[in-house]
């Protein structure tokens, strides 16, 4: 009976927003003024890529800046961007020949000094970049001549090109030295296909096509202006879309997308993403003694949640239940792990064995998809775990976790679109700020996988780490995400699984 009630509650949650779809008012949002208007859901901390960690920040970065290399989102192949070629000198040294004749948006010439300055700044621990894991595999960088640099790694790092293609944008050295992160956040300057016309921190960003963009793999942008407003509320986003205030919205809930698909003025596309949702628990007691230091309690959480029901009723689209702490396509990910089927009776037995026959009450943290967080809490309540929701911004929750708080909650991770286990499992299980397992064996296996250029060695060690994470129930992986993109018929746009919206690939029909 409880299961029926839980499924009914999920259906009610998924139907929480209803809209009437009729002809769009296109008085504002159309191609007449060559301006594509869109929205961000999350307020980013800074436009300076190195001082934020949101997907929205990654999307902005790809428009404003370039990296040394570019990964083609369709083929997965690496091609030169700010670099024209590269070669491994040895297992820990990667040499790049740089493209000549490139200028930054402010007129500065691009050369090796910009690459060396940017990377040196990012890897300096005194600068406290928000996500040091993006660059802490780099030991040093050196300039050989005006258009040649060498990147030195601490140890073999097989994912180097993957990281350099999206997580290490290059800044103008003279400008960044003058204005620093604060100035870069307010008046960003890059070499990318779009330059920044204006920034209202966290709220409004206007990008203009950079007429001087180089002949690189991103291609010349087609749309003249990109106008982005931060609108956290999905109801408001939908109202803007239907009234003609915006041309494109992504991350649209499944039921809304289904309703909008009936409009002859809109295109609705569902695309899989590399993001997965998971429940984390303070297994090591970083935040003090708590029930989750007991493995049976963690396993009970795994059996308490009906992940398939959440996928079917809330996620829909191309989402699937995930059992390992990684996205299935990532290099090193394995399906051969302990699984936790939906079994409330077994969950209650495990809680009783652990000394909690009447359950317990505890704080529960989340930062997105409140209906999903509430569905998880309802399942937990059904077996006796009363979860008290603390709904925070991601930056606040991340900072809390680095200080050992917020150890029990529903979070997600998109791996920054990196198709490698090192971009997810290694981020959360190698004693970093969001590692609540602190398992020496897991760390050792991940270290071995992260530093070998032998693919079989990598897979073997990652498999061991993922199996132990599952056996110990350090995480309860939930499901993969999909994203619904809704845009006006005037927009020509093909979403990609890496969840990066590339405005420079869009055009008007």
Stretch 399-423: mean pLDDT, rounded?
A: 93
The whole-number pLDDT of residue 347 equals 98
For 446-488, the pLDDT digits (tens) are 999 988 878 899 999 999 999 999 999 999 999 999 999 999 9
The alpha carbon torsion through 50, 232, 63, 167 (nearest 10 deg) reads 30
Q: Residue 250's closest CA among 10, 55, 76? A: 55
29 falls within a domain: no
Q: Are 355 and 226 within one domain?
A: no
The whole-number pLDDT of residue 455 equals 82
Q: Are 445 and 497 within one domain?
A: no
- Name the more confident of 285 and 32: 285
Q: Are 424 and 468 within one domain?
A: yes
pLDDT over 70 percentage in the chain: 94
The alpha carbon torsion through 371, 423, 229, 128 (nearest 10 deg) reads 110
Mean pLDDT of the chain: 92
Q: Are 318 and 445 within one domain?
A: yes
Whether the predicted pLDDT of 19 surpasses 60: no
Stretch 128-148: mean pLDDT, rounded?
A: 95
5 falls within a domain: no
- Name the more confident of 100 and 13: 100
The alpha carbon torsion through 237, 239, 242, 245 (nearest 10 deg) reads -70
The whole-number pLDDT of residue 25 equals 54
Q: Are 110 and 210 within one domain?
A: yes
249 falls within a domain: no
Q: Are 218 and 80 within one domain?
A: yes
For 52-79, the pLDDT digits (tens) are 988 899 999 999 999 999 998 888 789 9
Q: Are 285 and 410 within one domain?
A: yes
Supply the angle between the helices 344-353 and 295-304 in degrees, to the nearest 10.
170
DSSP letter (8 states) at residue 343: -
Could you tell me the pTM of the whole model? 0.74
CATH number at residue 461: 3.10.105.10
CATH number at residue 125: 3.40.190.10
2 falls within a domain: no
Q: Residue 412's closest CA among 340, 475, 342? A: 475
79 falls within a domain: yes
Q: 409 by DSSP, 3-state: which?
A: strand
Q: Are 167 and 292 within one domain?
A: no
- The total of other beta-carbon atoms located within 10 Å of residue 455's CB is 11
263 falls within a domain: no
Q: Are 309 and 395 within one domain?
A: yes
Q: Are 402 and 473 within one domain?
A: yes
User: φ, ψ for residue 227 (rounded to 5)?
Assistant: -110, 115
Domain that holds residue 127: 35-230+490-508
pLDDT over 90 percentage in the chain: 81
Overall domain count for the chain:
2
62 falls within a domain: yes
504 falls within a domain: yes
Q: Are 102 and 67 within one domain?
A: yes
pLDDT band at 406 (very low <50, low <70, confident <90, very high): very high
Q: Are 479 and 495 within one domain?
A: no
């Amino acid at each position: 009976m409880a299961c029926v009630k839980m499924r009914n509650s999920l259906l009610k949650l998924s139907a929480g927003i209803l809209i009437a779809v009729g002809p769009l008012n296109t008085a504002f949002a159309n191609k007449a003024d060559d301006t594509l208007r869109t929205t961000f859901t999350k307020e980013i901390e800074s436009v300076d890529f190195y001082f934020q960690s949101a997907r929205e920040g990654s999307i902005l970065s790809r428009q404003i800046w370039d990296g040394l290399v570019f990964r083609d989102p369709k083929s997965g192949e690496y091609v030169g961007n700010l670099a024209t070629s590269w070669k491994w000198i040895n297992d820990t040294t990667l040499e790049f020949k740089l493209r000549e004749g490139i200028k930054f948006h402010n007129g500065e010439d691009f050369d090796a000094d910009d690459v060396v300055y940017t990377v040196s700044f990012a890897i300096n621990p005194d600068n406290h970049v928000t996500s040091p894991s993006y660059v802490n595999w780099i030991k040093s960088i050196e300039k050989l001549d005006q258009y040649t640099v060498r990147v030195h790694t601490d140890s073999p790092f097989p994912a180097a090109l993957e990281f350099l293609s999206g997580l290490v944008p290059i800044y103008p050295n003279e400008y960044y030295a003058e204005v620093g992160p604060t100035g870069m956040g307010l008046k960003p300057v890059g070499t990318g296909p779009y330059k920044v016309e204006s920034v209202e921190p966290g709220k409004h960003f206007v990008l203009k096509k950079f007429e001087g963009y180089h002949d690189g793999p991103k291609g010349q942008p087609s749309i003249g202006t990109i106008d982005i407003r931060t609108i956290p509320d999905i109801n408001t986003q939908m109202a803007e879309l239907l009234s003609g205030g915006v041309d494109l919205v992504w991350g649209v809930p499944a039921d809304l997308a289904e309703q909008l698909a009936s409009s002859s003025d809109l295109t609705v596309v569902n695309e899989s993403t590399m993001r997965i949702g998971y429940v984390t628990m303070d297994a090591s007691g970083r935040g003090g003694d708590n029930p989750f230091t007991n493995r049976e309690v963690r396993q009970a959480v795994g059996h308490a949640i009906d992940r398939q029901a959440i996928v079917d009723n809330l996620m829909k689209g191309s989402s699937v239940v995930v059992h390992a702490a990684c996205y299935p396509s990532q290099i090193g990910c394995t399906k051969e792990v302990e699984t936790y089927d939906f079994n409330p009776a077994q969950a209650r037995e495990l809680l009783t064995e652990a000394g909690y026959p009447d359950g317990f009450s505890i704080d529960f943290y989340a930062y997105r998809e409140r209906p999903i967080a509430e569905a998880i809490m309802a399942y937990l309540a059904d077996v006796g775990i009363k979860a008290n929701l603390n709904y925070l911004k991601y930056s606040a929750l991340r900072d809390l976790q680095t200080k050992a708080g917020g150890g029990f909650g529903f979070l997600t991770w998109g791996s920054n679109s990196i198709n490698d286990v090192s971009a997810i499992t290694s981020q959360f299980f190698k004693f970093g700020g969001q590692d609540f397992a602190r398992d020496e064996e897991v760390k050792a296996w991940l270290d071995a996988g992260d530093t070998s250029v032998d693919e079989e060695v990598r897979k073997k060690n990652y498999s061991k780490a993922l199996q132990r994470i599952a056996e110990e129930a350090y995480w309860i992986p939930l499901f993969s995400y999909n994203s619904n993109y809704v845009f006006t018929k005037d927009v020509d746009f093909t979403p990609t699984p890496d969840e990066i919206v590339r405005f420079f690939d869009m055009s008007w029909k």
